[in-house]
Amino acid sequence: MNIVLFGPPGAGKGTQAKYLVKKLNNFQVSTGDMLRDEIQKDTPIGKKIIKNMNDGKFVEDEIVNKLLEKIVFDTTKINKLIFDGYPRTINQAKNLERLLEKSNQKLDHIFFLNVKKEAIIKRVEKRKILEKRSDDDSDTILKRYDTYMEITKPVLDYYSKNKNFHEIDGSMEINDIAQKIEEILKV
């Protein structure tokens, strides 16, 4: 089962992805984690993306799409993908469709975790203390939210027509969200 977790920064996509990984024995595909890893290892990609990441801007589609390609074609992960933070642009959504088709896979479910801006700001302030992410300060989170509204929201409109699209109230408690998702997946 391949699943996309969709929503604004701080909506809880990573947390729910980890739940689903355990429950389904699937793999979390977090482009944010992959990009942070490139920065930590100081790779050529890492050097190129560090400024955009710290400023709360998106990394170029070309770079992210390339990182993703390896995973979609990884035979050990076929039909076991939980996408968290990808796609974030229409270009990425179309790229994902193309890669899945090429590898004889499909998207089984798309979950939209809907959380309001005020709740996100509060959550991300807490996360900053716990995870010490350099892009979690209040100015940057506002920028990331605006980028989401401007560039990622059209992907939501694109996905919402899909019959496997489910909107979930992402302001609920973590366990309640996980339960709702499991009910829909019947797992």
Which residues of the chain form contacts with ligand AMP (CB under 6 A)? 9, 31-32, 35, 52-53, 56-59, 64, 85-86, 88, 92, 135, 144
In this complex, which beta carbon is closest to ligand AMP, that of residue 120 or of residue 177? 120
Length of the chain: 187
Q: Which is nearer to ligand AMP, 32 or 170 (CB)?
A: 32
- Burial class of 181 by CB neighbour count within 10 A (0 to 12, 13 to 18, 19+): buried
Task: Indicate the residue among 153 and 187 with the shorter CB distance to ligand AMP.
Answer: 153
Residues with Cβ within 8 Å of residue 16, at least 6 apart in sequence: 5, 84, 111, 113, 174, 177, 178, 181
Per-residue b or e along 54-72, where b marks 16 or more CB atoms closer than 10 Å to that residue's CB? eebbbbebebbbebbeebb
The total of other beta-carbon atoms located within 10 Å of residue 29's CB is 25
Q: Phi then psi for 139, rounded to 5 degrees?
A: -65, -45
Report the amino acid identity of residue 100: L
Instruction: Report the residue number, 146 or 179, with the smaller CB distance to ligand AMP.
Output: 146
CB of 186 to ligand AMP, least distance (A): 27
CA atoms of 65 and 60, how far apart (whole Å): 9
What's the CA gap between 153 and 157, in Å, rounded?
A: 7
CB of 53 to ligand AMP, least distance (A): 4
Minimum Å gap between C-beta 102 and ligand AMP is 19
> Which residue number, 29 or 181, has a Cβ lying nearer to ligand AMP?
29
Minimum Å gap between C-beta 96 and ligand AMP is: 10
Cβ at position 130, least distance to ligand AMP in Å: 14
- Residue number with CB closer to ligand AMP (31 or 105): 31
Q: How far apart are CA 82 and CA 97, in angstroms?
A: 14
The minimum distance between CB 159 and ligand AMP, in angstroms, equals: 14
